[in-house]
Chain A
Amino acid sequence: MKTETRHEQFEAPSVLGTFLRKLHIDIPLFIGLLLACLLSLIILYSAGSQDMDVLIRQSGRVGLAFFLMILLAHIDPYQFKRYATILFSMGILLLIAVLIMGQISMGAQRWLDLGIFRFQPSEMIKLTTPMMIAWYLAEYSMPPKAKQLFIASILIIIPTLLIAKQPDLGTALLVASSGAGVLFFAGLSWWIMGGIVAFLAALTPIIWHFMHDYQKARVLTLLNPEADPLGRGYHIIQSKIAIGSGGIYGKGWLGSTQSELEFLPESSTDFIFAVFAEEFGLLGCLGLLILYLLIIARCMYIASQAQDTFSRLLASSLAFTFFVYVFVNIGMVIGILPVVGVPLPLISYGGTSIVTLLAGFGILMSIHTHKKFR
């Protein structure tokens, strides 16, 4: 142990550098995340009718999430690999428990009440699924063979279906893409990917058949929002008006009229991007997208520098899932994807999503700051 520390000091002579390495924080990533969270509070103040209570509550959650991130950054990635199967199986069991409880109370249920707080097993699954797939594939040489692909697909499909059954389409989508991300980065052949896309396209009518009525309605609404202006089309029409009226430069902070006048529903949660676009315009949107891209780029860099297959696959998949978050939310708010319940990462109001997201970044930092040799 002692020799290792001395070795590190030779490598990074600056006091600050040593200190930060001991904290296991990746500075570029940390700054990016901090910026995004500050931006979130600024926009929430406007979207939440300038209610200080909202800000205070969200700050508390962000603080908790950052704490959890740093905590996870201190755990050696080897431990994630070691406990991947156990964590994954636990998550699956909890999902089943939630489903059964939901059936008892005759309604949709996503959380387990732990007394102090409500815990959503589907959030835990967002992290443990890529961990599990990465653990499984890392045993073999890349790219994975047909048999490994088959088993990995089963491991992805189980949690996805359990969550879709809750029903929580948005989270199911994120879990599926986190697993698919691992497969992609493991070197899944482009031909197979093309085949899967074709297969899914053929499967669409069957999926349609199994969707809930309200989920079907959301897809139909996307195709023609004007058909039902008082009902389901309302969200999309109002959010497009808010974004479009923002123009290039926006109406300025606190200048949103659409959310102010309560035309725009869910303006603090899933549709917060519309408020952002209205107030900060196209330039603000570009800025936000660039910030997201920088965060993703840093994560990809961390993945490329990782030292073993497990870390590489996990890191890259987490980065990829973060992008899916961004893309699905903004795509839905600007009316090119159906309305699924996915919040804008790091920005939307709410505790569960930010805690899981930052926990993921904590794992990334852990991967980057626990290198055995340089």
Chain B
Amino acid sequence: MVNLYAIKDHILERNLFVRRIVSAFIVISLLTTGLIVRLMYLQIVGHEHYSSLAKDNSIKIVPLVPTRGMIYDRHGKVLAENTPSYSLEIIPEQVTDIDDTLHRLQTLLDVSDEEIVQYQKLRKRQKRFVSSPLLLSMNDEQLAKFAVARPYFPGVDIHRQLVRHYPYGDLAAHVVGYVGRINEAEMKELPIAEYRGSSHIGKLGIELSYENDLHGKTGYAEIETNVQARLLNTLNEVNPQPGSNLYLTLDIDLQKTAYDALAGFNGAVVAVDLKTGGVLVFVSRPGFDPNPFVMGISNDDYEALQSNENQPLYNRALRGLYPPGSTVKPFVALAGLEYEAITADQKLFCPGYYQLPGVTHKYRDWKKGGHGAVDMNQAITESCDVYFYRLAATLGIDNMVSFMQKFGFGEKTGIDLVGEKTGLLPTREWKREKKNQAWYPGETLITGIGQGYLQVTPIQLAKAIAGLANQGKIITPFLVDKVVSAQGTFPGAAFNYHNVTVKTEDVNSVIAGMVNVVHSARGTAKGINKNISYQIAGKTGTAQVLGIKQNAKYDEDSIDFKYRDHALFVSFAPVDDPKIAVVVIAENGGHGGSVAAPIAGQVIKQYLEGNHEN
């Protein structure tokens, strides 16, 4: 390096530095003088002007907060409303003996000492003519008692305010979401004028996704006050515009059926209206009660929710990632037909396992001893793994993946909720990039039966199965049907769809197999075909939580509940005129056929046979 030989001239450097210090101080002094000049301008020249403005500040602009829009289900049942809450407030100036008043209120209304102390603190901080609350929300008994005794309490009054309330509690918390107090970070990003006076904002679910529609437009009143800020007169008012009401596609009764049916399991149920693409059921279990979040949930309660091992705050329907298991087989079968890797009648032999050429590893079928020679219909009906290993090997990973992508695997569905996950549709490129490894042929096989890297969300699976039921018309699922405001009724979410070109006869071959899953004697979900007047097409799935060793046997009874397989079921009905698609995922449910399918069966039955007109 040159600098090894360059001798530092210390004297020169020091002088240079001192010169710089001096110039810096000159610049600093000049800039400070600038500040002083400006201050002199404001405080000497402008003093009179600003003093009169300060007095004129007696005209104050008070924001008028709009009422938040309501949220309804498809039949007009209220999912989120604004309920009045009553607080007891005191204006110290109008009270002759504050201590006596507080004492009498305490005996009358059973006010705790803590609340009294809290109030005293608040009172000391505020002006004597400002009303401050003693009780934030009064119960009916307190309201009645005070109403009678009111004449004896001058300066004490009941104030009404609106508080967001979710009548269905945990049932729809993951869809509707909740509002909470605006925090500092949100404050910075919000339009200041629009939110002046607003205390709450949507934090999750529809409340968050449709915040702009629900909030409304803030109005204001110009009021005249005197120097102590006492209200004298209202000069001018611009009324607020209340927030729009939202009508969801959700059917809360159907949601309840699904939610109750899933009791005992963590998991998700999603049902889609096949005519419109609207989401009918969006269950994530366990749910949580959104109501405490509105006024601020206590740290302990929040901590308890967060550390609960069942993760009630986790929206499984939107964000849960699951291996789809055998529920992908209809799509792999369809891909096989479209790429002409197989015909529907062609039989493949299943000895109970499959080996890749030159590899000793046995890819096992779930049925020991195998299914024998099966065609596509039988393979779907009995969920033959070997058939799909062989089909996947013939198709190859590239064809399989590019076909499934068209049905929405591996990408967000575009539903009108914030926070959706993309899932994972593994490709050669993905593996090269993420794992820095080549794609192995064995991985193609297990992708063909929905295991391995493949991951889907329940809403993704619902979109895909709805697309199959609709002969390749893939509709973006949505929750908000209508936005109703004073200006009129507007459509909610944008209606989007695309068509995947598939041959009707191919789709029908696959659906025929899915019908047999439910309606044939060998079907894996034959338990749900009793007492129904329509046909259901379905497919069971079992997603492994635990890897099983080559020669070990999976024994359900001896395994810990949390390591038990996830049970999945995808379905739609009626087959001749599809109206509803249902996806069920019961975590650690064991078998799709015995656990998940009956839940879907109940939802379908209620939707098709229930009392609702549509």
Contact = CB atoms under 8 A, between A and B. Distances in A.
B21 to A, nearest CB: 5
A335 B542 CA distance: 66
Given A141-B3, A141-B6, A231-B191, A108 B185 contact: yes
B32 interface: yes
A117 interface: no
B192 A245 contact: no
B341 interface: no
A31 interface: no
Contacts of B34: 336
A245 B28 contact: no
Given A49-B125, A228-B193, A289-B36, A245 B47 contact: yes
Contacts of B418: 106
Interface in A141-167: 141-143
Interface in B1-52: 3, 6-9, 13, 16-18, 20-21, 24-25, 28-29, 31-32, 34-36, 38-40, 42-44, 46-47, 49-51
Interface string A241-268: 1111111100000000110010100000
A261 B47 CA distance: 19
Interface string A109-150: 100000000000000000000000000000111110000000
Contacts of B57: 241, 257-258, 261, 263
B20 A184 contact: yes
A-B pairs, top 4 by smallest CB distance, nearest first, are: A244-B50, A231-B193, A245-B54, A282-B43
Sorting the interface of chain B by its residue count into under 10, 10 to 19, 20 to 34 or 35 or more gives 35 or more
A240 B42 CA distance: 7
Which residue, of A51, A282, A292, has the highest number of chain B Cβ atoms within 10 A?
Answer: A282
Contacts of B43: 243-244, 246-248, 277, 281-282, 285
A177 to B, nearest CB: 12
Contacts of B188: 108, 214
Nearest to B7: A141
B229 interface: yes
A67 interface: no
Given A142-B13, A258-B57, A309-B13, A327 B39 contact: no
Nearest to B227: A257
B20 A185 contact: yes
A35 interface: no
B21 A303 contact: yes
Contacts of A246: 43
Contacts of A50: 125
Contacts of A327: 31-32, 35
A293 B24 contact: no
A108 B47 CA distance: 40
B220 interface: yes
19 contacts: A143-B16, A187-B17, A187-B20, A234-B192, A240-B50, A244-B50, A245-B54, A258-B54, A281-B43, A286-B36, A296-B28, A300-B24, A303-B21, A316-B21, A323-B31, A327-B31, A330-B35, A334-B42, A335-B38
A107 interface: yes
Contacts of B36: 285-286, 289
Given A184-B24, A245-B53, A258-B54, A282 B16 contact: no
A103 interface: no
A234 B195 CA distance: 14
A141 B46 contact: no
A93 to B, nearest CB: 22
Given A261-B57, A293-B32, A304-B17, A336 B192 contact: no
A244 B46 CA distance: 6
B555 interface: no
A312 interface: yes
A141 B17 contact: no
Given A244-B43, A281-B43, A230 B193 contact: yes
B192 A231 contact: yes
Contacts of B40: 282
A354 to B, nearest CB: 18
Contacts of B7: 141
